[in-house]
Structure 1
Amino acid sequence: MTEDLKMRRTIRKYKNEEIPEGLLNELLETAFRTSTTGNMQLYSVIITRDNDNKQKLAPAHFNQPTVTTAPVVLTFCADFNRFIKWCELRNAKPGYDNFQSFFTAAIDAMIVAQQFCTAAELCGLGICYLGTTTYNAPQIIEVLNLPKYVIPVTTITVGYPEIIPPQVERLPLEANIHYETYKDYTPEDIDRLYYEKESLSENRQFITENNKETLAQVFTDVRYPKANNEHFSEVFLDIIKKQGFKF
């Protein structure tokens, strides 16, 4: 089973084939059995199958084709709304309108999302994470009618793969593992750990196409520049506050 998981790929193109409702529910039930803080289950999942609703979601994800062509789009949300309502109806005073609570719910939602992805891939489905969810959370909140204390944290497109793309590279194992305590990286470590990534022909092509000197510059200047990071940070923090969490 570990070999199957190590061979996984991100799938962005899907067959024109619906996912049976029974299978989708089984996968979600499997995901909901994963670990959760205090067994509070501080997450909700919005299932989008309707083509018109996919079209409404697409701009929030910069109109990535996978949003409108996938059979199912799942938006995983940090959700304290349900738990707070339960507390209030049971004469318990909730104190969950704070950063710690938001972050706890976000962790729960992300663990559930990954459990869903693992189960889906083992059943022959393909998935794609959309990091754009936190960039344009206000639009997603409006489209999905998310109430106070509910924040979208990630979106997954899922379907039967149309093609199986090549695997993307990963850093060597030693890049991510520290024994007992964190061992910081020397310049020589960085050179060694990123050598294979920087040597790949497709990554060298990215450098040329973007008129840059190094692959790192493609990330800092083109893909994830500081101005964008600061802008989307402000947008996301503002909407989290508007949804009821105090920082």
Structure 2
Amino acid sequence: MFESVKNRRTIRKYQQKDIAPDLLNDLLETSFRASTTGGMQLYSVIVTRDEEMKAKLSPAHFNQPMVKGAPVVLTFCADFRRFSLWCEQRNALPGYNNLMSFMNATMDTLLVTQTFCTLAEEVGLGICYIGTTTYNPQMIIDTLHLPELVFPITTITVGYPDGMPAQVDRLPLEAAVHEEVYHDYTPEDINRLYAEKESLPENKQFIKENNKETLAQVFTDVRYTKKDNEFMSENLLKVLRQQGFL
């Protein structure tokens, strides 16, 4: 499994080959062994195979082709509804309509999601995280009929890889590991840690295509702008209130 993780790629193109339901269920059931807050299992997974349903989900993900192209789309949701209903039916008063509960459910959900992805790759499947799930949560909530105290956290497309793309870069170990306490970065540290990333031909091309001076400007001015982040933050808070977490 070390080698599988070291050599993993994000897969965006898939063979027109279905994933056997028994295999998918086995992967999901095994991933549910991941750590969970208090043993509560605060997550649900919506499995989408139907082409019409994929088409309905696609706009929420900016019509990225993986959503329609993958045999299976999985929407992993933070879910305090099931546990709250259980409490109510057992004469216990749930108090989980708050931010802390949302955070606990989100952590549970992401632990299960990554466990699933690691297992799926180990058996030869390819996966792609779709980062737009929390950009357009309302569209996903409406499409998947998510009730109060259920919130979409991330979406994974899954299938058998159609080709093997190049592996993307990662920062060196020292960039993210701090011994004992956090050690802030000097300008020299930043230059050293990002030197390889900035030197890659694909990233230099990225700068050129976006008509920018530096790779950092591509992120701040094009990909993840302050304006977009503030707009999506306001929307996220609005939908969290609607779903009963605030």
Same fold, judged at TM 0.5 (above): yes
Q: What is the alpha-carbon distance in structure 2 between the residues aligned to residue 226 and residue 167 of structure 1?
A: 29
Contact 2:4 2:121 in 1 (8 A): no
| Counterparts of residues 175-214 of structure 1 (less than 5 Å) | 175-214=175-214
Question: SS at 2:11's partner residue?
Answer: coil
The total of aligned residue pairs comes to: 246
Please give the per-residue CA displacement for 1:196-240, whole angstroms capped at 9, x wherever unaligned.
000001100111111100000000000011110011111111101
TM-score, L = length of structure 1: 0.99
Question: SS at 1:84's partner residue?
Answer: helix
Q: What is the alpha-carbon distance in structure 2 between the residues aligned to residue 68 and residue 17 of structure 1?
A: 13
The offset of 1:4, in angstroms, is 1.9
The offset of 1:49, in angstroms, is 0.1
Q: What is the alpha-carbon distance in structure 2 between the residues aligned to residue 210 and residue 166 of structure 1?
A: 22
Q: What is the alpha-carbon distance in structure 1 between the residues aligned to residue 105 and residue 124 of structure 2?
A: 29
What residue is the counterpart of 2:173 in the other structure? 173
| Counterparts of residues 76-155 of structure 1 (less than 5 Å) | 76-155=76-155
TM-score, L = length of structure 2: 0.99
The offset of 1:3, in angstroms, is 1.8
Q: What is the alpha-carbon distance in structure 1 between the residues aligned to residue 129 and residue 61 of structure 2?
A: 11
Question: SS at 1:127's partner residue?
Answer: strand
Q: In structure 1, give the amino acid aligned to 2:37.
A: T
- After superposing on structure 2, the runs of 4+ consecutive aligned residues of structure 1 that deviate more than 4 Å are none
The offset of 1:241, in angstroms, is 0.6
Please give the per-residue CA displacement for 1:99-149, whole angstroms capped at 9, x wherever unaligned.
000010011000000000000000000000011000000000000000000
**Residue segments in structure 2 that go unaligned for 5+ positions in a row:** none
What residue is the counterpart of 2:17 in the other structure? 17
> CA-atom RMSD, angstroms?
0.5
Matched, 1:38 2:35: no
What residue is the counterpart of 1:238 in the other structure? 238
What residue is the counterpart of 1:8 in the other structure? 8
Q: In structure 1, give the amino acid aligned to 2:168.
A: V
Question: SS at 1:115's partner residue?
Answer: helix
